[in-house]
Chains A and B, each alone.
Chain A
Amino acid sequence: MENESVFFSRVLTELTLSFHIIYATIGVGVPLMIMLAQWLGIIKQDSHYILLARRWARGFVITVAVGVVTGTAIGLQLSLLWPNFMQLAGNVISLPLFMETFAFFFEAIFLGIYLYTWDRFENQRKHLLLLVPVAIGASFSAVFITIVNAFMNAPQGFDIVNGELVNIQPLVAIFNPAMPTKVAHVLSTAFMTSAFILASIGAYRMLKGSNHVYHRKAVFLTMKVGLVFSIATAIIGDLSGKYLAEYQPEKLAAAEWHFETEEGASLILYGILDNGEVKYELEIPYMLSVLAHGTPLAEVTGLEEFPKDETPPLYIHYLFDIMVTIGMWMVLLSLLYVIGIARKCGFVRTRLFHWLIVLGGPLSMIAIEAGWWMAEVGRQPWILRGIMRTEEAATTNPNVDLMLLLFCILYLVLAIGSIIVLTRMFRENPVEREIEDRNSEKDGGFYVT
């Protein structure tokens, strides 16, 4: 019975988080994009950008609502499914958890104000000012919650005496070695993914025959932002590799199928694992040493150095491949697009290229999921690396399986509901009509077509 609870607790947590991060990623990244569009609208005196900000914000509310409720779910599930873990770790990591709620509070208040003062402030700059706390609150809740996760990967800031945590230093726990790369990676991928998702929407509208300049501006803006953050993501990804080599070598070794400790280790891309043999792989000599330590001849610790029951499952290699491949592909795609537009090359205006942009958004989201799965499964068997194993942390309540079923239904309903609402919202009110409406409402003024 107890083992069943552990298994179902794992599945339920994974399900909740996998569902939540779709909306959470959008929730972190989109406010920045809205702010950017509003700002561009003001400095360029271009009402299209202001409209862009409004339309994005309108869709954003729907994703925020789902993000908030699933976030509440995971917040409570931490204690409901992993009571032993929270009892122990709560002593050390409650500070960032607590700060996260403040960031969330802050964001919620100003989002409410922003949404209900559409037409109350004549001055668009005041409106921009309201977006600043929304974007800051959104980013900081990601920062704080990622700190909690970083702590689980690299716990520090306490001593253990007879199974009890003593000499606790909350700030040391916050500034753990996993924190800088994790926080940076989460933020830049959220910005990148949100930008590419907004780009796919614009490109899709263009494919469906709307050739309004509004969409072209939107796609160009989002692809540029996406390019910047996908390059940032790649650089931070490299730093994360160096962090792993130093502090969590078993995760890196499992992700890379690096079994024997050696110098000048090569990076394995793709391939399949068949009875301990790696087949059909693409090997890049010396690359793993470069990724891990920055020099081609450095020694990289292999999986053989770790006890069998302390190594993560080897399938995380596939997740690593998915994440890195999509990341690289998106850098290339957005680079081609930005260069293509700047040089007025024809290929970026083709239907094929637009379809590739449409695919970019969902692909980036898949990369987010794969990245999180890799990071989380990669620290198995630990819930607190080196301190508490996952089985010891789970609840003993026998009803987890029923709750899993309940939440499956909930997420299905939320997914269907949000998709229906979002598509209807924009299909019934295309941008052409909204521009027309606004022009007839306001006599002259700021709005031009």
Chain B
Amino acid sequence: MSLEVIGISVLWLFLYGYVMVASIDFGAGFFHAYSTLVGKQHILTKIIQRYLSPVWEVTNVFLVFFFVGMVGFYPQTAYYYGTVLLVPVSLAIVLLAIRGSYYAFATYGKLKHNRYTYLYGLTGLLIPASLSIVFTISEGGFITEGNGNLALEYWTLFSSPLTWSIVVLSLSAVLYISAVFLTWYAKEAKDEQAAALMRKYALIWSGPTIITAFGILIEMKGHNLERYEQLLDYWWMFGISVLLFLGTVLLISERKYYGIAVLLLFGQFFFAFFGYGISHYPYLLYPFITVYNSFTNEATAISLIIAFIAGLCLLIPSLYLLFRLFILNKNYVQGKR
């Protein structure tokens, strides 16, 4: 495998990691806000707080890691994406900032007011929407280049059905991922009431997730035929993804083996995410940049990979410790200590 491909594979893996942990986080914030609104706060608050508190900071780092690595391995992306994404990404930064800091303010600073709960829940939905625009743009057709200037065609972007399908998919996927995970987490905590409620949400959001995923395939046919055919080349990856999805839904609706359901869920998105990524190859931004024409020099790439391996040697044991202590620790999850 060439350095170019190693680079994007590693980054894609981290982006997948971010999408999963951030979805759980964003969705949890939304469910928390929603349950407050409909007066079921007492059921969900404890379980959500217990999961979120030790990991909220780590979630953010996955994102930072991805974009720093992207610019490091593919400096050209800084020019193209940096120039055109000023507005959507700035909005996402502002929302992330409000969300992150107000989480800390509320949890540690006891800033207890429903206003903040709603704010927190709402930002959790707006962030995936503003970030998913990057995926839409990467499909090509929204950027014009003329006399040395790049411009994002906002009207084309916002009037495209593809944009909205991707936004809707990101929202329903966030809620679905989060609900499945929290069903398992609540069950582990022996909190039957919370598990039952989350199970209901998981089943509700499974439908829109799979429907929009198929919808995008159809949009793509109209938007960019070449990309559509590339997607079809990897139909088997999406096929596995759908099977895993059905498995998760089945287990959840049968109220059995929630732990396995979560693993199937991670597998489902792993295949879908990588199938999408591979079909996009070699383009990072269609048709301007590919992993080859934007790649950094060899010396930098090798040093980045060495730093990456060294970093992982520190990270994996630390993440494992974090998981042992909080996510996989029965006593902690059940609130005993």
Measured between beta carbons, the chain B residues less than 8 angstroms from A422 are: 109
Instruction: Tell me, yes or no, whether B84 is within 8 Å of chain A by CB.
Output: yes
Residues 56-80 of chain A: 1 if any B CB is under 8 Å from the residue's CB, otherwise 0? 0010011011101111110111111
* Closest Cβ neighbor of B63 among chain A residues: A72
Say how far A105's CB is from chain B's closest CB, in angstroms.
Answer: 5
Measured between beta carbons, the chain B residues less than 8 angstroms from A98 are: 68-69, 72, 304, 307-308, 311
Interface stretch (choices B156-164, B239-247, B321-329):
B321-329
Q: Show 6 residue pairs from A and B whose CB-CB distance is below 8 angstroms, ordered by the A residue.
A: A69-B96, A72-B100, A76-B93, A83-B79, A112-B56, A171-B303
The size of the chain B interface, using a CB distance under 8 A, is 68
Contact yes or no, A112 B68, CB < 8 A: no
Interface stretch (choices B30-38, B166-174, B293-301):
B293-301
Measured between beta carbons, the chain A residues less than 8 angstroms from B91 are: 406
* Closest Cβ neighbor of B58 among chain A residues: A108
Contact yes or no, A72 B96, CB < 8 A: yes
Residues 370-395 of chain A: 1 if any B CB is under 8 Å from the residue's CB, otherwise 0? 00000000000000000000000001
Task: Select the residue from A68, A86, A94, A99 with max chain B CB neighbours within 10 A.
Answer: A94
Contact yes or no, B109 A62, CB < 8 A: yes
Instruction: Tell me, yes or no, whether A353 is within 8 Å of chain B by CB.
Output: no
Instruction: Tell me, yes or no, whether B108 is within 8 Å of chain A by CB.
Output: yes
Alpha-carbon distance A410/B102, docked complex (angstroms): 12
Interface stretch (choices A235-243, A298-306, A412-420, A433-441):
A412-420
* Closest Cβ neighbor of A413 among chain B residues: B98
Instruction: Tell me, yes or no, whether A184 is within 8 Å of chain B by CB.
Output: no
Instruction: Tell me, yes or no, whether A95 is within 8 Å of chain B by CB.
Output: yes
Instruction: Tell me, yes or no, whether B94 is within 8 Å of chain A by CB.
Output: yes
Measured between beta carbons, the chain B residues less than 8 angstroms from A108 are: 57-58, 60-61
Alpha-carbon distance A109/B94, docked complex (angstroms): 23
Chain A interfacial positions (CB closer than 8 Å to B): 58, 61-62, 64-66, 68-73, 75-84, 86-92, 94-95, 97-102, 104-106, 108-113, 115-117, 119-120, 133, 165-166, 168-171, 395-397, 399-400, 402-403, 406-407, 410, 413-414, 417-418, 420-422, 424-425
Prevailing SS type, chain A contact patch: helix
Contact yes or no, B300 A86, CB < 8 A: no
Contact yes or no, A65 B103, CB < 8 A: yes
Measured between beta carbons, the chain A residues less than 8 angstroms from B69 are: 98, 101
Chain B interfacial positions (CB closer than 8 Å to A): 53-58, 60-61, 63-65, 67-69, 71-73, 75-76, 78-87, 89-91, 93-94, 96-98, 100-105, 108-111, 148-150, 296-297, 299-300, 303-304, 307-308, 311, 314-315, 318-319, 321-322, 325-326, 337
Known: A70-B97, A120-B337. A88 touches B75 (CB 8 A): yes
Contact yes or no, B67 A79, CB < 8 A: yes
Alpha-carbon distance A109/B111, docked complex (angstroms): 24
Contact yes or no, A61 B78, CB < 8 A: no
> With contacts A86-B82, A406-B91 known, what are 16 further pairs, Cβ within 8 A?
A61-B108, A65-B101, A90-B75, A94-B71, A98-B72, A99-B311, A101-B65, A108-B61, A109-B315, A112-B53, A168-B297, A170-B299, A396-B148, A407-B94, A413-B98, A421-B108
Say how far A37's CB is from chain B's closest CB, in angstroms.
Answer: 19
List the 6 closest A-B pairs by CB distance, nearest first.
A94-B72, A421-B109, A65-B104, A90-B75, A83-B82, A86-B78
Contact yes or no, B68 A83, CB < 8 A: no
Measured between beta carbons, the chain B residues less than 8 angstroms from A166 are: 297
Contact yes or no, B318 A95, CB < 8 A: no
Alpha-carbon distance A90/B314, docked complex (angstroms): 25
* Closest Cβ neighbor of B311 among chain A residues: A102
Alpha-carbon distance A98/B60, docked complex (angstroms): 15
Contact yes or no, B79 A109, CB < 8 A: no
Alpha-carbon distance A417/B109, docked complex (angstroms): 10
Contact yes or no, A425 B100, CB < 8 A: no
